Amino acid sequence: ALFFFSQWPYFVSGFTGELPQGFSFAEYAREGFFQLCIVSVFNAVLLIVLQTFMRRTPGERGLLRRTYAGIISLFTLILIATALSKMILYIDAYGMTRSRVLATWMILLLAVAFILSLIHVFCRKFPLAIGIFITCALFLLVLFLPNIDGMIADYNVDAYLSGDLSSVDIEALCDLDYAAVPALSRLEEHLLARGKLDEKSALLLEQTSAQLDRLAEQSANSADGIFDFNLPLSRAKRMLAER
């Protein structure tokens, strides 16, 4: 409690949408994420130690152990909420990247794990290990089955077109390779349809077209095997060929 209240403005800035003095969006989000990772590991080990080594007497209901474990889990969840708010603030300012999405995924996974731990504190019959295993399996499916890279590109372009972002980081979209093709094509069409462009928009169009040209040339010179096939890649190559 002393730790949180002594740094209250730093922790709640993410909820108010304002940066603490002396921080950039990137520094604020990264610091929050790595602080969370360190504290989560420490608190998880502490919970395991409490559960394993705290002395029990016959008929003892474990009130003291449950109280300690509940407080640790609750304060970890508060720290998770602050880390998530910092990451959302960062994404709102500069858009999504693969690393920002992975960090958010990890924060949410930790949140669910400590919620399950809190449930286990008050319901001893709840199978915590099985619950965390199922949670991890579902989170992995959410991460790998959808076209996450395509969603990242769509989010950034949609945010730019709606005015929520002042520009699109084309270099970051380059890391997404073919997954970014539908979003980049949409951005190129939108910029071409504007007609006369200011200097900033003209540079964005030039970067977008150059990236699409690079991918089109790469697609024309590559021969994919049967095991390389997937629907997003097939759609991207079709769009490049039509372009």
pTM of the entire structure?
0.84
Mind listing the pLDDT tens digit for each residue in 94-147?
999 999 999 999 999 999 999 998 898 888 788 988 999 999 999 999 988 888
Burial class (CB in 10 A: 0-12, 13-18, 19+), 171: exposed
Is the Cβ–Cβ distance between 14 and 28 less than 8 Å? yes
In this prediction, residue 61 carries a pLDDT of 60
- Ranges in the chain, pLDDT < 50: none
Contact 215, 236 (CB under 8 A): yes
Residue 234's pLDDT is 83
pLDDT at 57: 62
pLDDT at 58: 58
For 164-174, the pLDDT digits (tens) are: 888 888 888 88
Cα–Cα dist 8/5, whole Å? 5
What Rg do the C-alpha atoms of the chain give, in angstroms?
23
pLDDT for res 40: 92
